[in-house]
Amino acid sequence: MEAKGVMDAADKMVAPLSGSSGQTVDKSSGHPEYHESPYRWVIIGLLSFSYLMVYVHRMCPAVLAQDLIQSFNATGAMAGLMASAYFYPYALMQVPSGILADKLGPRLLVTICMIVASVGSVLFSLADTVTTAFMARVLVGLGLSAVLVPSYKALTAWFSTKRYVMATSIVISVAGLGGVVAGSPLGWLSEQIGWRGSFQVIAGMTFATAILVWLLVRNKPQDFNLPAVEPTRTPAGPVKSMPIGQSFGTILGSLDFWLMAVWFFFNGAILFSFAGLWSGPYFMQVYGMSKTTAGNFINIFSFGWIFGPLLFGWLATRFPSNSRILGGSMSGMALLCLWIYLRNGSMAVIELYTFNTLFGLLGAGPAGVCFAAVKERFPLQIAGTATGLLYVFPMAGSALYQPLAGAILDRSGHLKSGLGAEDFSILFIVYVVSCALAGLAGFMLHRKNTAEIDLMAGAPATE
């Protein structure tokens, strides 16, 4: 009864903001009146900020890597493993989170998981051994694992099909600000209160976000007695769910799914192993930067993440070929990694700024296009499951490449005494090859039309 009272109170508080009139039917026609509510911007704003906090947690090891290595007397592989502990549960939970998003709804799922992440961040700040730090990061990853997929699920109800790509791109763009927060501001904060105090501040921000999501977010417009955005996205009657076995068979039997999985695996692996962890030591040890200066350069990645998704979302609305966008972006990443390999340790400041901007732009920019490609290829009732399955792969790539990069750097024997440019050469070669493979997978992706999706769902094809 108490829980119901809290939910009713929250509904009464928020309903006026939604513009709800309690009228969802056009009486003159007898059919539902479909349109997008202005309240969708509150929904996307809060869900975007939630994913921003995911990026803060994900990217903070880069600027704090040296502190963690010194505090725990860790090797490169150990530091990579400790940072990547976030990604293991994150990857494993993507399928369950997709199913839970379909069954339980985004509001409750995001709220609970953000609270779990805040607890994990506090425990990490109190850790005194690598083992306890590893387990705390596992808890953080477990909590944050069910934020993006449920958020995208909610956006399918609040935004029309033609605006969905841009909506998903906005989420990723706003999340890019999390990378800014985890750059020089976090570097400055850690210099003031230490890395442990910094993680406690992050935990407080995460908890506050969870409360706001619970109070203000709803799974669909109908929860406010608002009309659905369009008949094909949220029909008035109940939607018949697809059995889990059939869902998995439909998804895993698709060649396009596996091509997108390969693309996303290497995309996440390169993006988060370098920008999310080893870029900090690279800038500080190879170029002799201070923590704050290195944080400023790490921030540049984030500006690419902020504007990249908007740029690629705009391109996707004007050019129908997802394969060219996905293949071209990772081919561009391969050229970038070749550039830093050839100019390793010798880049001028303007070159570093240019490299970091393009790295963030091409790395994070097309992610929304890839998620939209999933939505185009699978029925709505398994959209959450398909998105969750796909999102396993960038997290798995990140979990593998962060410690792999650390192990490569350990071979030099210079991790604690000071890494040189040549110590990163092998790592950059690995990046070039990985990006080339992802680009090839992207170019092999073919376009699927709406009629094919309707037939997959067992529904009559529509024009």
Encode pLDDT of 327-358 as tens digits: 999 999 999 999 999 999 999 999 999 999 99
User: How does residue 283 score in pLDDT terms, banded at 50, 70 and 90?
Assistant: very high
Longest CA pairwise span in the chain (Å): 78
Token pair of 137 as six digits:
């990061």
Q: Is the pLDDT of residue 413 over 80?
A: no
Q: Is the pLDDT of residue 68 over 90?
A: no
User: How does residue 448 score in pLDDT terms, banded at 50, 70 and 90?
Assistant: low
225: region left, alpha or beta (phi > 0 left; psi from -120 to 50 alpha): left
User: How does residue 450 score in pLDDT terms, banded at 50, 70 and 90?
Assistant: very low
**How distant is the alpha carbon of residue 151 from its chain centre?**
11
Instruction: Say if residues 83 and 137 touch (Cβ distance below 8 Å).
Output: yes
Segment 48-64 shows an average pLDDT of 89
Which pLDDT value is given to residue 320? 67
Spatial distance between the Cα atoms of 204 and 422, rounded to a whole number of angstroms: 41
Spatial distance between the Cα atoms of 141 and 256, rounded to a whole number of angstroms: 28
Spatial distance between the Cα atoms of 250 and 256, rounded to a whole number of angstroms: 11
Segment 248-276 shows an average pLDDT of 91
Q: Please tell me the least confidently modeled range out of 12-21, 145-154, 207-216, 412-421.
A: 12-21
Higher pLDDT, 165 or 119: 119
| Residue 461 burial (10 A CB sphere; 0-12, 13-18, 19+) | exposed
Give the mean pLDDT of the chain: 81
Token pair of 435 as six digits:
């990006």
Which pLDDT value is given to residue 10? 47
Q: Please tell me the least confidently modeled range out of 78-87, 194-203, 240-249, 347-356.
A: 240-249
Q: Is the pLDDT of residue 66 over 90?
A: no
Q: Which helix (H) or strand (E) holds 447?
A: none
Which pLDDT value is given to residue 64? 83
Q: What are phi and psi of 31, to 5 degrees?
A: -115, 155
Spatial distance between the Cα atoms of 271 and 359, rounded to a whole number of angstroms: 8
31 DSSP β-pair partners: 26
Best CA proximity match to 211, nearest among 104, 107, 93, 102: 107
The 10 Å Cβ neighbour count of residue 320 is 12
Which pLDDT value is given to residue 292? 83
Segment 364-369 shows an average pLDDT of 84
Q: What are 203-228's pLDDT values in tens digits?
A: 999 999 999 999 999 888 887 777 77
114 DSSP β-pair partners: none
The 10 Å Cβ neighbour count of residue 419 is 20
Q: Please tell me the least confidently modeled range out of 161-165, 200-204, 415-419, 448-452.
A: 448-452
31 three-state secondary structure: strand
Spatial distance between the Cα atoms of 140 and 408, rounded to a whole number of angstroms: 26
Token pair of 394 as six digits:
């960038």
Token pair of 252 as six digits:
């895993």
Spatial distance between the Cα atoms of 63 and 179, rounded to a whole number of angstroms: 10
Query: What's the one-letter identity of residue 352?
Result: L
Quick one: the chain helix, strand, coil %, rounded to 5? Answer: 80, 0, 20
